[in-house]
Chain A
């Protein structure tokens, strides 16, 4: 009886493992504009209003896709975008874009059909935005000048930086990516291979990825799972939180569909669909996990 139950346990364990191992599959690739021109150095992807939006940095345009991955529209509002590197919707008709050449934001108001520039500063210091996220009507911005996260409020027609969030760790060398969710703020520091978590109570906790990754480039946090995109390994490594136990990894170096050459960002798009932006292959690969 004991042996039988032991056997059943082993089988159950195998089934769980196999189902998990086979649980990650590529579902869509976003790789072209409506005019069939390829993406050049795409930098970010979002999911909004049942569409995917990609910042096609090398071509200076934004492209929307339907749920099947068919390109819908390529746009460059008022031809102002030169190097769009990140984008997010605040409201249905209000799109924010970071343009590297501008060193700031463009707000695209579709209802008013106008595009406005926003250059941010904090205590007399000009910020250098790289990545941003709008969460609970606050804008969180990864600023290259401080390597920290600037928190900005939307005030009438202005964007005002309220504070800068930065861990008090001597070893901190600046974030390369971050995410905000109900569990707080999660920042990835490449040089010291650490993930910093700012909990809602204001405490920072640190997870060290030393020995687990080589070149961590981007992160995503969903429920109790931490996804780290390792650019050198061209893999996504999934860790269970808070134990930081590695539970799965996927991705392989290559140039054909489904493979990564120079992956740059990972984003959870909706439910259990995750997007990997690969600037090398000029593609966004969307996986279901």
Chain B
């Protein structure tokens, strides 16, 4: 019995000592770092002991962190790292490992967000908010009702393909949409954030739809791409380019609807969404390149400034040959640059030199969008003797 009492005493002493040492550590830290900076409605759990994340003396990392970011976060939140491998689309700050873009390390709002969810999202996503009619979750700033904040397989990081049906029951919708099937894309006609019209309907209508001439497109005799090309024959010619967006027409539907909305849209040319969103929905490699590099062209998000939407005979579906295309904006530069053109051959591969020989607008690690360091590395690729 005496032995047991002694052991309990030792154990309590040990606990007390632990608590005291922790208190001592925090006390030492807060001598300089005022405690009110770490107090709030939501506090990061490791904050009980500063040394969970920081070292007291020296560190290779800023803020005396014990590991580099985001690895430090992943030490505990490893699930976030693991899950990224499972999904096709990752939120850009997460892809960049910039957890602190949205979260605070010490205290914050729910989920340690820097501010309210609405504010955190809208700080980057400068989207239109002034609509006559607003979707309730959007009005309330509950972006995460529909969107996932870290990763998803769906475009716009939507939580699922049929996210709308989470609130709007299919059976209720069927009375007004008799053709509706599960998985049907409601965004084709409705703007999920807001609109000027009742029912969140989009503004710009396809002419036959506006005039109620459904059979102009929907007829028994015409299926697939001809549903569109029947009227837009001039567009069909654009798809004859060597590099084109000729896509499979699936289940009798025209492939055009991969990018265009056949009924209603809020965008020019009845695009389903802003051009960048439409393009990046499939061209995920461009998103990866942007995340992995430091510099991108200022028009990186305006794909159609440089690329054609349907087809082209120029590699990369560019609007024109590289020099003419770049020279269209960089007028001064095209006149005094390093010799380029058909007569100046790249010694590495015998190809004609152009702006793209040295620059890559899609994403690089060097200033002026240079493919390699302009201080030496890039030049000596060709100028071996220097």
- Residue of B at shortest CB range from A40? B351
Contact A282 B242 (CB under 8 A): no
Q: How far is the CA of A257 from the CA of B346 in the complex (A)?
A: 12
Whether A279 sits at the interface, judged by CB under 8 Å, is yes
Q: Indicate whether A214 sits within 8 Å of B248 (C-beta atoms), given known contacts A100-B242, A282-B351.
A: no
Point out the residue from B241, B248, B381 that lies within 8 Å of A148, measured CB to CB: B248
Bound state CA distance, A103 and B350, in angstroms? 30
- A147 contacts chain B at the CB level, 8 A cutoff: yes
B247 contacts A by Cβ under 8 Å: yes
A145-B85 Cα distance, complex, nearest whole Å: 33
User: 1/0 per position for A30-52, CB-CB distance to B under 8 A?
Assistant: 01100000101100000000000
Separation of A255 and B356 alpha carbons in the complex (Å): 12
Contacts of A41 in B (CB 8 A): 242, 315
Q: Which of B53-61, B70-78, B116-124, B281-289 contacts A (4 or more CB under 8 A)?
A: B281-289
Q: Which of A129-186 contact B (CB under 8 A)?
A: 144-148, 172-174
Chain A residues, CB < 8 A from B224: 125, 145
The answer to whether the Cβ of B37 comes within 8 Å of any Cβ in the partner chain is no
Question: Do A173 and B248 touch (CB < 8 A)?
Answer: yes
CB of B240 within 8 A of CB of A215, answer no
Given contacts A31-B350, A148-B248, contact A100 B240 (CB under 8 A): yes
Whole-angstrom distance from the CB of A40 to the nearest CB of chain B?
Answer: 8
Let me know if A107 is at the binding interface, CB within 8 A: no
When distances are taken between beta carbons in the complex, the residues of chain A under 8 Å from B241 are: 100
Chain A residue at minimum C-beta to C-beta distance from B223? A125
Of A85, A144, A231, A281, the residue contacting B248 (CB under 8 A) is A144
**Taking the nearest CB of chain B, how far is it from the CB of A210, in angstroms?**
7
Which residues does chain A contribute within 8 Å of B265, judged by CB atoms?
A: none
Residue from the list A103, A146, A232, A280 in contact with B285, Cβ < 8 A: A232
B contact residues around A174 at 8 Å (CB): 247-248, 250
Q: Is A128 an interface residue (CB 8 A)?
A: yes
Residue ID in chain B nearest A144 by CB atoms: B246
- Do B349 and A261 touch (CB < 8 A)? yes
Interface residues of B in 323-360 (CB under 8 A from A): 345-346, 348-351
Cross-interface CB contact of B85 among A128, A211, A257, cutoff 8 Å:
A211
With A144-B247, A145-B248, A147-B250 given, is the CB distance from A281 to B349 under 8 Å?
A: yes
A223 contacts the other chain (CB 8 A): no
CB proximity to A under 8 Å, residues B33-85: 85
Report B-chain residues with C-beta under 8 Å of the C-beta of A148: 248
A281 to B315, CA, bound (A): 12
Q: Give residues 1-55 of A contacting B (CB, 8 Å).
A: 31-32, 38, 40-41
Please provide the chain B residues from 346 to 386 with a CB less than 8 Å away from any CB of chain A in the complex: 346, 348-351, 381
What is the minimal beta-carbon distance from A223 to any residue of chain B, in angstroms?
29
Query: Which residues of A in the span 247-289 have a Cβ within 8 Å of any Cβ on B?
Result: 254-257, 261-262, 279-283
**Inside 8 A of A211's CB, which chain B residues have their CB?**
85-86
A-B contact count (CB 8 A): 76
- Chain B at the A interface: SS class: loop
B133 within 8 A of A: no
A103 to B242, alpha carbons, bound, how many Å?
A: 10
Residue of B85, B240, B284, B348 near A255 (CB, 8 A) is B348
Q: A41-B242, A125-B224 are in contact. Are A262 and B248 (CB under 8 A)?
A: no
**Alpha-carbon gap, A148 to B248, bound state (A):** 8
Q: Which of A145, A172, A214, A255 has a CB less than 8 Å from the CB of B246? A: A145
With A214-B284, A214-B288 known as contacts, the answer to whether A146 contacts B249 (CB < 8 A) is yes
Residues of chain A lying within 8 A (CB to CB) of residue B247: 144, 147, 173-174
On whether A38 and B349 interact (CB within 8 A), knowing A145-B225, A147-B250, the answer reads yes
Complex Cα spacing A172 to B350, Å: 39
A254 and B284 alpha carbons, distance in the complex (Å): 22
Q: Tell me the nearest residue of chain A to B245, going by C-beta.
A: A144
Q: Are A214 and B285 in contact (CB under 8 A)?
A: yes
A78 touches B (CB below 8 Å): no
Docked complex Cα distance between A2 and B246 (Å): 62
Evaluate contact between B289 and A256: CB separation under 8 angstroms: no
Judged by a CB distance under 8 angstroms, whether B88 is at the interface is: yes
In the assembled complex, A101 has its CB within 8 A of some CB on chain B? yes
In the complex, the answer to whether A147 meets B248 with C-beta atoms within 8 Å is yes
Contacting pair A103 B240 (CB below 8 A): yes
- Please determine whether B349 and A128 come into contact, CB atoms closer than 8 angstroms: no
A101 touches B240 (CB 8 A): yes
Let me know if A57 is at the binding interface, CB within 8 A: yes
Residues 195-229 of A at the B interface (beta carbon under 8 Å): 210-211, 214-215
Chain B residues, Cβ within 8 Å of A103: 240
A194 CB-CB contact with B under 8 Å: no
Partner of A232, one of B86, B240, B246, B288: B288
**Do B349 and A283 touch across chains, with their CB atoms under 8 A apart?**
yes
Interface residues in B140-164 (C-beta closer than 8 Å to A):
none
Find chain A residues with CB under 8 A from B250 CB: 147, 172-174
| Chain A residues, CB < 8 A from B351 | 38, 40, 280-282
Which residues in A have some Cβ–Cβ distance to B below 8 Å? 31-32, 38, 40-41, 57, 83, 85, 100-101, 103, 125, 128, 144-148, 172-174, 191, 210-211, 214-215, 231-232, 254-257, 261-262, 279-283
A-B contact pairs, 25 of them (CB 8 A): A31-B349, A31-B350, A32-B350, A38-B349, A38-B351, A41-B315, A85-B242, A100-B242, A101-B240, A125-B224, A144-B246, A145-B225, A145-B246, A145-B248, A146-B248, A174-B248, A211-B85, A211-B86, A231-B285, A255-B381, A262-B315, A280-B315, A281-B349, A282-B350, A283-B349
